[in-house]
Structure 1
């Protein structure tokens, strides 16, 4: 029993330190062409909550006091505004977090404004949907906070049945258990599905830790960037190799959990710095490759910005990276194989990266390739 409890504590601790899923799952949706559909569905769901709130005004059990009517109006208008904003501006990680908080607050106001106890408990089921969203887009700590808040609100919603003039404690407890069970099952089934997706990712195109492409995924997706470079006039092709400096020492001194967090940090910063159509991959333990095309005049500013974007003195465990960049401005010529040309550029970028490492790390070294005659 003791060993089982230790195992459960270990599993819970490992679950709680899992990183935020937003960048990883958003990239998965984007790579599979599902971003627009997801935005549409989430906007419809939020506007649907607004419609439900509006219809509740006309129900005999709906809000009747001036305060309740005021909050009902606020929730209705806010739901319509948030739904439309989701379609218009699109999500970011910060907006997504705000979306979770907004949904929790809006549902809570709707619950408190409903005078029918059973209808209040029915509304609590929406918390389960919010939990599913958190499981896919955010981290377990936010999920725990959401579940804790939801359980408190379920108890508040059931208070009239448990202690009111027409109280029925047996009915109240049974309905509370139904809603809490639905809430927990939805959250944890979603987590299990995510775990299975991570296991599948280990044998697919994705790196299971960062959600970036792995080496095979890089080879399969880079052709789109190469095609765009060939079509676009006055475009440059960049292949960037990044290696975390002294990563083995970091693992030895701070442990592999810290090493994993640093890998995730580098992956997130690299993804944020890259253009939306770039291909970003983790090709080794602490090695990354980025491939993107951009207009020739933009090369200088982009190269100047990558160093500051990747390093920060404010990090809890500071780290630096050696960065090597291969730049090609001449197009592919007849008879030149793109895959072979890309492999050659990777070798050039690796050479530039090793030169940065030889000079002490934390540097950016660039090599511009020239056309061969």
Structure 2
């Protein structure tokens, strides 16, 4: 019973997931596989598009001319969609639109050849598109696609069986049905597991904030929102609890952990909604956001006042660093994050040497 509850809970959670399209694109791009992945998707579209076009000129083509024209149009659309990935990544909405149109075309071609009594080899195309949907789109979209593909496969099994060869139709149809359903669902399960593991590896378990790795990944996403028509300033604020060692030594590590959690909660409450908050390590925290130095200092001042009002009774030192990004410049998020944190960390230590509970500002010009 416990296993069943866990399974249903996992399915319900996966059903509500918004999809991992943007996350997976950033992952493959960051690891140098972006172009290879795009070309692979493009080649899959080319293969799907070539299928109805080649069949239209083969002896196995459907006899009706109008149907052949419709299937060729579906093939041409698939070829055009392949060009989208050769040029660059489509947006999530564009990808969803392509998936819907592409699978509608596959369904039309399969139904046309099934009604004409021809082998429905094109049902294997559903395995390709379903695998793609399993990786980057939502579970409801995948289930809808698998339902369509399964229905067409079952129609093919029945059609071949009624033609006088039920054993052959069942053997071939079941293999196609397994290819269309089992493979994409297995891929979906693996992507969900890898995605959850990646998310967990980016989160500090005590505070629930991003860790240093998660901060770098989040800054990469944030950099993608930089407007291309003008320079942008990005600010990092380093926060270090003053005399944290004495809190651990005099009140115990459990009290020290509570202080860290309290600070994390305060950071969430005071920081702008579009900022990235992380626990860098120990008692050090960071905020990264696109704003000017004045905006970062105002946030730091709000944090100082909020901490003074905390019943835990601790203060922190703040170091603010800013970088101005030139317009239309490619952003190396790893180098940007490290540079900002390094300069902000230096400013924060200046604040600590000056007695703590203060803000120091530095310019991290590249």
Aligned partner of 1:58 in structure 2 is 57
Distance change in 2, residues 1:6/1:95 (3 Å): same
Aligned partner of 1:137 in structure 2 is 136
Name which of 191, 213, 216 aligns with 1:216.
213
Write the mapping of 1:1-373 to structure 2, written as runs, cut at 5 A. 2-88=1-87, 90-114=89-113, 119-120=119-120, 122-163=121-162, 166-198=163-195, 200-201=197-198, 204=201, 214-218=211-215, 236-239=233-236, 270=274, 283=279, 289-290=287-288, 328=322, 339-343=341-345, 369=361
Consecutive unaligned residues of structure 1, counting only runs of 5 or more, are: 226-233, 242-262, 264-268, 275-279, 293-297, 304-323, 332-336, 349-366
Structure 1 distance, partners of 2:204, 2:148, is 34
Query: What RMSD over aligned residues (CA atoms) do the two structures have, in Å?
Result: 4.5
Structure 1 distance, partners of 2:133, 2:27, is 16
1:54-101, CA deviations, whole angstroms, 9 ceiling, x for partnerless residues? 211122111220221121221122122211233235311001111211
What secondary structure sits across from 2:79 in the alignment?
Answer: helix
What secondary structure sits across from 1:101 in the alignment?
Answer: helix
Consecutive unaligned residues of structure 2, counting only runs of 5 or more, are: 223-230, 239-267, 297-317, 326-338, 351-358
What secondary structure sits across from 2:119 in the alignment?
Answer: helix
1:263-304, CA deviations, whole angstroms, 9 ceiling, x for partnerless residues? 9xxxxx95xxx9xxxxx67659xx994466xxxxx969x99x
Structure 2 distance, partners of 1:97, 1:192, is 20
The question of whether the paired residues in 1 share the 8 Å contact of 2:320 and 2:344 is answered with: no
The question of whether the paired residues in 1 share the 8 Å contact of 2:278 and 2:286 is answered with: yes
What secondary structure sits across from 2:97 in the alignment?
Answer: helix
The question of whether the paired residues in 2 share the 8 Å contact of 1:50 and 1:80 is answered with: yes
The question of whether the paired residues in 1 share the 8 Å contact of 2:219 and 2:288 is answered with: no
Distance change in 2, residues 1:368/1:56 (3 Å): farther
The question of whether the paired residues in 1 share the 8 Å contact of 2:20 and 2:135 is answered with: yes
What is the deviation of 1:339? Answer: 4.5
Alignment size in residue pairs: 273
TM-score normalised according to structure 1 size: 0.59
Structure 2 distance, partners of 1:114, 1:195, is 36
Distance change in 2, residues 1:172/1:281 (3 Å): farther
TM-score normalised according to structure 2 size: 0.60
